[in-house]
Amino acid sequence: MAKKPTSNRPTRARPGKAQPDKGYVRTEDAPVLPPPPSEAGISGWLWHNVLASCSDFTSIGSAVRSIVMAFFTVFVGWLTISTAWGLFDFAVLSAVWSDPDGIKREACFTIDQGGQLPSGWHGACWPFVAAKMKFMMYGPYDIDQLWRVNLAGIIGLIGLAWVMIEPLPYRRYVGIFLLTVYPLLTIILLYGGGFDVSLMTLSIIFMIGLALITFGRLAGRGLLGETMAAFASAGGIGGWLLVGYAVVMLILGVDYGLRTIDTNQWGGLLITLVVAITGIVASLPLGIVLALGRRSSMPIARILSIVFIEFWRGVPLITVLFMASVMLPLFLPEGVNFDNLLRALIGVMLFSAAYMAEVIRGGLQAMDKGQYEGADALGLSYWEKMRLIILPQALTHVIPGIVNTFIGLFKDTTLVSIIGLFDLLGAAQSAISDVAWATPVQAHTGYLFVAAVFFVFCFGMSRYSIYMENKLSRGRKH
Binding to other proteins in span 222-261, by CB under 8 A: 227-228, 231, 234-235, 238, 242, 245, 249
Which residue's CB is nearer to other proteins, number 141 or number 375? 141
With respect to other proteins, which residue has the nearer C-beta, 175 or 358? 358
Only segment of 19-27, 36-44, 70-78, 161-169 that touches other proteins (CB under 8 A) = 70-78
Q: Residue 174 or residue 454: which is nearer to other proteins going by CB?
A: 454
The span from the CA of 162 to the CA of 206, in Å, is: 34
Strand, helix or coil for residue 23: coil
Residues 342-381 binding other proteins (CB under 8 A) are none
Question: Which one, 155 or 418, has the nearer CB to other proteins?
Answer: 418
Residues 391-430 that bind other proteins (CB under 8 A): 407, 411-412, 414-415, 417-420, 425, 429-430
Nearer to other proteins, 11 or 201 (CB): 201
Specify whether the CB–CB gap between 431 and 446 falls below 8 A. yes
Q: How far apart are CA 261 and CA 249, in angstroms?
A: 18
Report the nearest approach of other proteins to the CB of residue 262 (Å).
6
Quote the least distance from Cβ 291 to other proteins, whole Å: 16
11 binds other proteins (CB under 8 A): no
Minimum distance from CB of 203 to other proteins (Å)? 11
Least CB distance from residue 369 to other proteins, whole Å? 17
User: Which amino acid type is present at position 50?
Assistant: V
Residue 315 beta carbon to other proteins: minimum distance, rounded to whole angstroms: 5
Q: Does 382 bind other proteins (CB under 8 A)?
A: no
Does the protein bind other proteins through residue 335 (CB under 8 A)? yes
**x/- letters, 36..65, toward other proteins (CB under 8 A):** ---------x--xxx-xxx-----------
Of 182, 183, 189, 187, nearest to 150 by C-alpha is 189
β-sheet bridge partners, residue 193: 255
41: left (phi over 0), alpha (psi -120 to 50) or beta: left
**CB 435, min distance to other proteins, A:** 5
Judge residue 153's burial from the number of C-beta atoms within 10 Å of its C-beta, 0-12 exposed, 13-18 middle, 19 or more buried: middle
Q: Residue 473, interface with other proteins (CB under 8 A)?
A: no
Q: At what angle do helices 181-191 and 232-253 cross, to 10 degrees?
A: 30
Q: Which long-range contacts (CB under 8 A, 24 or more apart) does 145-148 make?
A: 145/258, 145/259, 145/261, 148/189, 148/190, 148/258, 148/261
**What is the rounded distance in angstroms from the CA atom of residue 212 to the CA atom of residue 200?**
19
Cα separation, 277 vs 365, in Å, equals 27
Choice between 100 and 335, CB closer to other proteins: 335
Query: Which residue stretch of 21-29, 35-43, 68-76, 186-194 sits at the interface with other proteins (rule: CB under 8 A)?
Result: 68-76
With contact defined as beta carbons under 8 Å apart, do 279 and 313 qualify?
no
Q: Which is nearer to other proteins, 182 or 308 (CB)?
A: 308
Question: If phi over 0 gives left and psi between -120 and 50 gives alpha, with beta otherwise, what is residue 225?
Answer: left
**DSSP 8-state code for residue 461:** H
Rounded Cα distance between 291 and 289, Å, is: 6
| Shortest spacing between CB 104 and other proteins, in angstroms | 13
Closest contact distance (angstroms) between CB of 417 and other proteins is 7
